[in-house]
Structure 1
Amino acid sequence: MANSPEMRASDADRDRVAAILREHTAQGRITMDEFNERLEQLYKSKTYGELAKLTTDLPDVDLRNLPVKASAAAPAQRGMHSGMKAAWSAWAVASGINWVIWLIVSLTSGDLIYPWPLWVMGPWGVILLLSSIFGNDHSKRS
């Protein structure tokens, strides 16, 4: 049964039209001011005919088949994954704190002491470096 213009629209129908309007705004067909005006009219609309008037000057958009954005399509091309970034950040923070402690101890003792932070950051850094270079790439497994 076809929906006649006089038939009442549901909240789901309004949400679908709102998504279409957002997509047209993202594609640059309508401005933010036009989007806001149409959105205001959208939530006042009661029938399919009133909803249809909001998009009559716009081409049809199939929200299920939108082109995939490059950033979502290839996360591996953007660099290392967030877990590895977090591991390198933790290494950098811990190394910085150890060097600050070493510096404070060296300054207060009046003599440069043995650079023991190298033993903290060295092995950990080597393991991280090897994991970054040869580690499992999540995009290759999926």
Structure 2
Amino acid sequence: MPEPHLRAADSDRAAVAEALGEHMSAGRLTVAEFDERLGRAYAAKTYGELDELTSDLPPLSRSTPVPVAPAQPAHVGACGPASHWAGGWELNHAWRAWLTTSLIVLTVWGVTSLANWQFIYFWPVWVIGPWGAVLLAQTLTGRGDDDDDRTCGPHRHLSA
């Protein structure tokens, strides 16, 4: 990170929030610790304040193997329009991740607002909004058709 006294940008705070989420998913942080650090991340003004939030955590390794989805997810029998709309396993998983993150940031915002006895700036919109818009666009444009081929089998191509 740059010098600790320099002011951080919103993108820097969002990057730290994402890293904290990955550490929580890996089991390094409890939900309470994540909530506390996430609130501090979005309140941080300098790189030094952001650096404190991850200083006791190992660096995130991008070379860590990503768990592979099972060959046939739970919705195997769901062929046809419903499975096309769902957009496959990865898209459903992305929506669940978005919902979980949305609930966490809304909770942090709500608790912070209640603690101040007034509603503060609604910063969760910058976490929830763009991510939700991208997922909605992917869902509506049918991203994940390849996943449907995997789950519905070769007979799907015969009806086309």
TM-score, with length taken from structure 1: 0.51
Name the structure 1 match of 2:78: 85
Question: How far off its partner does 1:67 sit?
Answer: 2.6
Q: 1:12 to 1:79 in 2, by over 3 A?
A: closer
Question: How far off its partner does 1:136 sit?
Answer: 6.6
In 1, Cα distance between equivalents of 2:156 and 2:67: 21
Name the structure 2 match of 1:41: 40
Question: How far off its partner does 1:68 sit?
Answer: 1.7
**Structure 2 stretches lacking a partner, 5+ long:** 83-151
**Identity level (%):** 41
Deviations 1:19-71 (A, max 9, x none): 11000000000100000000111111000000000001000114x54532221
Name the structure 2 match of 1:69: 67
Name the structure 2 match of 1:124: none
Aligned partner of 2:72: which letter? R
Deviations 1:98-123 (A, max 9, x none): xxxxxxxxxxxxxxxxxxxxxxxxxx
TM-score, with length taken from structure 2: 0.46
Matches within 5 A, 1:88-99: none
In 2, Cα distance between equivalents of 1:86 and 1:13: 42
Deviations 1:53-93 (A, max 9, x none): 0001000114x54532221xx6xx116987x7334x9xxxx
Q: 1:49 to 1:81 in 2, by over 3 A?
A: same
Aligned partner of 2:32: which letter? D
Q: RMSD across aligned C-alpha pairs, in angstroms? A: 3.2
Which entry has the higher C-alpha Rg, 1 or 2?
A: 1
Bigger RCO (CA 8 Å, 6+ sep): 2
Q: 1:70 to 1:51 in 2, by over 3 A?
A: same
> Is structure 2 residue 31 aligned with structure 1 residue 29?
no
Aligned partner of 1:57: which letter? D
**Structure 1 stretches lacking a partner, 5+ long:** 90-131
Higher helix share: 1
The count of corresponding residues between Structure 1 and Structure 2 is: 88
